[in-house]
Chains A and B, each alone.
Chain A
């Protein structure tokens, strides 16, 4: 295991539902990330949290709302999603701020989301 867990592993929701994805890291890292993985596309970085502060929001629609209550937990709140939002949502963590440190990100197994 990578030390990054995600729940649930699979989620099916209607367009009017509200759900949340959860990520937890046990690596003592200080940065956490949400990615969207769709077939035949590069991993799309959605949000970055550095020391619990959001530092990046890559033009993600407001129907995706992240929350980072502490450096170990990250949530992605979902509401009024569209079918095209169906994808694998990956969480990752890393250690930031160390000059010259290897930029390794540790990924969780992902949540497979299907929007009906």
Chain B
């Protein structure tokens, strides 16, 4: 059973546009929700993360919106740039003792057209 569901599978956005990727989960014990970015030939790298005590976290052009009641969270990339073209994975984990196992979504391949 897939713990985290991610959509869309692929996304094409014009330069300067907003990219939005959505994830949903079922397990209410999850308490940490990171987004990872992966470029071709590289491993995933942490982009931004949120805990459920806040509804939004912003770092530069990247924002996570979190809806605890709906068990959904999303990544918004403002002013999308060609350099943002990559695969994005949402993930979730549980527990207060750090670095517990991550459950990943299936990934979204983002292409930003110049």
Contact = CB atoms under 8 A, between A and B. Distances in A.
Interface stretch (B14-22, B36-44, B60-68, B72-80): B36-44
Give the interface residue-count category, chain B.
20 to 34
A74 interface: no
A103 to B, nearest CB: 5
A42 B107 CA distance: 7
B11 to A, nearest CB: 15
Contacts of A45: 101-102
Contacts of B36: 107
B88 interface: no
A106 B11 CA distance: 26
A109 to B, nearest CB: 5
B104 interface: yes
Interface stretch (A14-22, A60-68, A76-84, A90-98): A90-98
Interface in A83-116: 90, 92, 94-110
Nearest to B97: A99
Given A90-B43, A92-B43, A109-B43, A100 B96 contact: yes
Contacts of A104: 34, 46, 49, 99
A42 B106 contact: yes
Nearest to A56: B101
Nearest to B6: A42
Contact of A103 (B34, B43, B105, B106): B34
Given A107-B45, A109-B42, A41 B106 contact: yes
A2 B98 contact: no
Interface string A1-13: 0101000000000
Contact of A40 (B9, B44, B101): B9
Interface of A: 2, 4, 31, 40-43, 45, 48, 56, 90, 92, 94-110
19 contacts: A2-B43, A4-B43, A40-B106, A41-B106, A42-B103, A42-B105, A90-B44, A92-B43, A96-B99, A97-B98, A101-B98, A102-B32, A103-B100, A105-B99, A106-B45, A107-B36, A107-B44, A110-B42, A110-B43
